[in-house]
Amino acid sequence: MLSRVADALWNPWLLGLFLVVGLVYSAGSGFFQLFGWKLWWRTTVGSLFRRGTGGGSGLSSLQALATALAATMGTGSIAGVAAALTLGGPGSVFWMWVSALLGMMTSCGEKLLAVAYQRPGPDGALQGGPMYYLQDALGSPLLAGWFCLACLPATLAGGSLVQASSIASCLESAFALPRLPVGLAVAGLAGLVMVGGVGRIARVSSALVPAMALLYLGAGAAVLVCNAGRIPAALELIVSCALSPSAALGGSAGWTVAAAVRYGVARGVFTNEAGLGTSAMAHGAACVDHPARQGMWGVFEVFLSTLLVCTVTALAILVSGVWDPAGPLTGAPLTAAAFGSVLGRAGEGAVALSLLLFAFSSILGWSYYGQQCLEYLTGGRGGLLYRAVFLGCALAGAVWPDQGPVWLLVDLCNALMALPNLTALLLLAPQALKLLDQWCTLQRFNFKKRQNFTKRRYDR
């Protein structure tokens, strides 16, 4: 039943709605993610060595990004891409790129709106997210409550249970560690971080995210460098399979364009969460001078999590020679085999460690989302009970290896979250795009002003 309901929502209606919203924001901004790349790159990566904008009432932009990436860069970046290659063929990578390219502006819009309608919480810290712009901008507390009620079970199932199961499975296969002690350790460590609130989650995420990204991207880059001669053929295979899978591989694999679109778009959505509204809750806690500045970090978030990390995974699998359309390998073991083909046991260990870090960081990020939704629904009551249930799910996931039915529940909850959020993004697109245009105009004016000032000093 869960499978039928989830499929009825996702395929093709909801996946199409994700693309439509991304297209509306992309076209409305003049495809800012492409033609305005210098501005968003300068605002994000260019500001990493400057003093943060966070204050006592909120997180810095970088802390908010790290908290969001802690949740989005989960096991899907490793196992999900490999599964998409198996189910949808290499063409799914092309549609993942399309989804991510449009999703960059969807992400920009929802982060911008999350900051525009943020408010101080009971403890004085800033908080924002889809529930607040659904309530305050659209005037619909019903849709806001709908979003939160759908998000809560998603945090318990997808954010805690399945992530802990991934960690336990990884350590069991790599080091033969028993699942119960692993579950107790995961729940204990997560509880120590959660009790410190969003500030501690942000600090831990700010340490974990760069480390795990550098580890995984570094190992993936080594695989690509050693197989550099095969990259052009892999890119040609991706494009040809996206348009005609049967012709590209002689019809032997049985893939279709519809399957490539379905699994590619779905993988893009699940790895960057642009349009789901979840990561907007982390960005809604940022203290910035203008909402559009945080929107730039939303653009960068999709670029990093999907266009960079997932592309490295896909290309490493395709160029390593371990991928067989009819073979038994899929998911994380396929990615580990690809890395191991060049780096040996070290490559397999890098994938295992990355999987562990990605999963644990996802637990931290999703725990924050659940607490934010519960606070909106109850006014701050029940937080202790929620944390206990969340950690209990982590323990249960570690000792319960079969997560198939849980993933179906996660798919259904994600669909129910996306519906009100995508509706709000469509209706609020004129307002969001106006704020973005005003900020971009001001930034370009200030940049030219600084250039002219520097030139006059040089001339003198």
Give me the pLDDT at residue 390, please. 95
Above 90 in pLDDT, residue 281? yes
Q: What angle do CA 69, 71, 72 make, to 5 degrees?
A: 65
pLDDT score at 247: 52
Dist. CA 242–CA 228, nearest whole Å: 22
When mean pLDDT is compared across 145-149, 192-196, 386-390, 450-454, the lowest value belongs to: 450-454
Least confident of 81-85, 278-282, 422-426, 450-454: 450-454
Average pLDDT (193-222) is: 88
More confident call, 123 vs 386: 386
DSSP assignment of 286-301: B--SSHHHHHHHHHHH
Asked whether the beta carbons of 61 and 142 are under 8 A apart, the reply is no
Structure tokens at 425: 């993004």
pLDDT > 70? residue 250:
no
pLDDT tens-place string over residues 35-91: 999 999 999 988 876 654 444 556 777 788 888 887 777 777 787 788 888 878 888
Residue 458 class from Cβ within 10 Å (0-12 exposed, 13-18 middle, 19+ buried)?
Answer: exposed
Report which DSSP code applies to 249: T
Whether 309 shows a pLDDT value over 80: the answer reads: yes
Task: Identify the DSSP state of 59.
Answer: B
pLDDT, tens digit (0-9, with 9 covering 90-100), for 393-443: 999 988 886 666 777 788 888 889 999 999 999 999 999 999 999 999 988
DSSP 196-246: THHHHHHHHHHHHHHHHHHHHHHHHHHHHHHTGGGHHHHHHHHHHHHH-HH
Report the range of poorest mean pLDDT among 109-118, 150-159, 195-204.
Answer: 195-204
Peptide bond preceding 12 in cis form (omega within 30 of 0) = yes
Q: Report how far apart the first and last C-alpha atoms of the chain are (Å, whole number).
A: 75
Q: How does residue 15 score in pLDDT terms, banded at 50, 70 and 90?
A: confident
CB atoms within 10 A of CB 411: 22
- Beta bridge partners, 59, equal 286
Q: What is the mean pLDDT of residues 277-283?
A: 92
State the residue for tokens 């996660």.
410
Rounded Cα distance between 280 and 65, Å, is: 10
Query: Which is more confidently placed, 123 or 148?
Result: 148
- At 253 the pLDDT is 53
What is the structure's pLDDT at 52? 47
What pLDDT score was predicted for residue 121? Answer: 80
- CB atoms closer than 10 angstroms to residue 2: 14
Indicate if the pLDDT at residue 254 is higher than 70: no
Of 437, 2, 15, 90, nearest in space to 265 by CA: 15
H/E run at residue 127: strand 126-127
Q: Which residues pair with 277 in a beta bridge?
A: none
As a whole number, mean pLDDT of residues 226-243 equals 91
CB 394 within 8 A of CB 160: yes
Q: What's the pLDDT at 13?
A: 82
Residue pair 94/264 in contact by the 8 Å Cβ criterion? yes
pLDDT number for residue 54: 46
CATH of 2-43+59-451, one of 2.70.70, 1.25.40, 1.20.1740, 3.40.50: 1.20.1740
Full-model pTM: 0.88
Closest among 192, 189, 193, 186 to 399, alpha carbons compared: 186
Q: What would the mean pLDDT of 197-208 be, rounded to a whole number? A: 86
